[in-house]
A and B are shown apart, each in its own frame.
Chain A
Amino acid sequence: MAKIANKQVICEVLMEAARTDRDVVALCSDSRGSASFTPFADELPEQFVETGIAEQNLVSISAGLAKCGKKPYAASPACFLSTRSYEQCKIDVAYSDTNVKLIGISGGVSYGALGMSHHSAQDIAAMSAVPNMRVYLPSDRLQTELLTKALLEDEKPAYIRVGRNAVEDVYEEGKVPFEMDKATFVTQGSDVAVIACGEMVKPAADAAARLREEGIGVTVVDMYCIKPLDRAAIIKAASGAKAVVTVEEHAPYGGLGSMVSQVVGSECPKRIVNLSLPDAPVITGTSKEVFRHYGLDAEGIVKTIKGIL
């Protein structure tokens, strides 16, 4: 099947909604191409706002639009959106409680060799620390579609991070288990619980499939809803396993691993290993090469799990 990037799915869902709802507005900061939002800008120019390379303005303008009844979706590289305009996200969106959806595109190490300036390995920590900000990292195009549709239905702030490239499907078309703010159990097993988010869910599921052939049972939880974190799913998964592994395309501090560790530590203490990017600028390479280097691919996850057992 033709693979499309999650960001493109977001644009398609929004365009479909925007054709009948004139309040749906998209904003970009000279990022319409990289966000795959050019079709939106071309077809619905009256509902598209270009702010130029001015991410702070992008977010504040979105907040002003929302205050006046619009449903703005601000799409900009996650690295800039989450930290360059962090204060605007905190005050104009979260604190003022405006219905702004922040779409962080090309998240994590999507930009590969472009280096740390273009990597967003702090966005989960930064955004999750802000009261009234929700944080979502969908895993594949099918889940992204359902998440985007769900977000269109509410009027609360949210930050959504997606990657630059198309990723393999985690779910089957037409059979995507999705409930808003509830994590999805991708596989079930009694040895190890792997809790992953975003593009790390697929390698986690692949690792579980390989280990199953060796008689090792792995539960894989797709924690696309980082905030509000599905604590019940963590407790359920961890309680039924000997150890827990978290996998995220993020720095080691303040991300999924930190949050899951808090829950496991307080509710069902047991061994937990956090796989993440390092607390350092990552090695130069494509995102695939970077993942392999830091053990964030299926092979690395298999190795980690075997090391625990």
Chain B
Amino acid sequence: MSNLKALAYGLRETVIDMIVEGKAGHIGGDMSVMEILTELYFCQMDVSPENQDDPDRDKFVMSKGHSVEAYYAVLAEKGFFHKEELVSTFSKFGSKFIGHPNNKLPGVEMNSGSLGHGLPVCIGMALAGKMDGRGYRVYTVMGDGELAEGSVWEGAMAASQYRLDNLCAVVDRNRLQISGGTEDVMGHDDLHERFGSFGWHVIDVADGNDIDELHAAFEEAKTVKGQPTVLIANTVKGKGSSVMEDKANWHHKVPSGEELAQIRKDLAEKKAELEKEGAHHG
């Protein structure tokens, strides 16, 4: 488990490399979602380059598609493609690594980018699993700003109607979107109650950047019967460096100069600290 904590910081370093090299990227959300993706791909889900055509593999849709850098970094780490190629060609002319998830790439199930699509698509995947009696689980990660899309709530109704206990949604609740705070733009502080009233099992993850807390929440979700589960993962946008943390203007930004040096330093130090802790815990 401790290794995953350090891994999340190593993946953040890859994201920084991609964004600096590609001169574009939704950096803030990449940083907030990193532990969620790390826990999913390296602990929870049975997904790998070897089983990507296996109908029984677990399914994942990156609904907040703009955090594609984090997603690609994780998929590269899983061995779906080469990290060097990813970093050197991301977002560049003719690249297969487009600035939103594309399922021409191995490991990506569905194209996303426009918000509010992931949950409804996952309902179809979860329904198919139920129809065929397959044991796979279906996961999606949404942003909190994304929840203003009406299609999310169409999906919230259907998932509950069809009692999709093989479906687990995660809200990357970093409380910031491009225009500012989510509560100022289109508030939903009562998110727990909202999903609850739609018939969902709701788990609040106090620190959504804590691998241990996420792990416990995903494990709880697996025990829920007869209803879908949503994790409200309270994260920090720009997590990993004080340069970016909790700053709305880092929604989409390419760091440079002193800021970049400070970010790299912060990430490297945190990673080293977590590696050390991991070694201690053995």
Which residues of A are interface residues toward B (Cβ below 8 A)?
A: 22, 25, 46-47, 49, 51-52, 54, 56-57, 60-70, 72, 87-88, 91-92, 95-98
Contact = CB atoms under 8 A, between A and B. Distances in A.
A70 B110 CA distance: 15
22 contacts: A22-B131, A52-B157, A54-B154, A57-B154, A60-B123, A61-B127, A61-B158, A64-B110, A64-B127, A64-B128, A65-B125, A67-B110, A67-B124, A69-B128, A88-B120, A91-B111, A91-B113, A92-B120, A92-B121, A95-B111, A96-B103, A96-B111
B55 interface: yes
User: What class of interface size applies to chain B in its complex with A?
Assistant: 20 to 34
Contact of A92 (B110, B128, B157, B161): B110
B124 A60 contact: yes
B158 A64 contact: no
Interface in B101-158: 103, 109-114, 116-117, 120-129, 131-132, 150-151, 154-155, 157-158
A65 B151 CA distance: 17
Describe B's contact surface by its main secondary structure: helix
Contacts of A88: 117, 120, 151
Nearest to B134: A68
Contact of B129 (A22, A47, A68, A97): A68
A70 B55 CA distance: 11
Contacts of B154: 51-52, 54, 56-57
B55 A68 contact: yes
Given A56-B154, A68-B55, A68-B59, A62 B124 contact: yes
Interface of A (DSSP majority class) = helix
Contacts of B111: 91-92, 95-96
B110 A49 contact: no
A68 B103 CA distance: 14
Among B103, B157, B158, residue most surrounded by chain A Cβ atoms (within 10 Å)? B158
Contact of A65 (B116, B124, B155): B124
A210 B150 CA distance: 53
Given A52-B157, A57-B158, A69-B128, A64 B123 contact: yes
Nearest to B120: A60
Task: Name which of B117, B121, B132, B151 has the most chain A CB atoms within 10 A of its CB.
Answer: B121
Given A46-B131, A57-B155, A96-B103, A64 B55 contact: no
A57 B159 CA distance: 11
B103 A52 contact: no
Interface in B18-64: 55, 59
Contacts of B131: 22, 25, 46-47, 70
B112 A52 contact: no
B114 A65 contact: no
B155 to A, nearest CB: 6
Nearest to A65: B124
Nearest to A69: B55
A131 B161 CA distance: 33
Given A52-B158, A57-B151, A69-B55, A64 B113 contact: no
Contact of B110 (A46, A54, A69, A96): A96
A27 B25 CA distance: 37
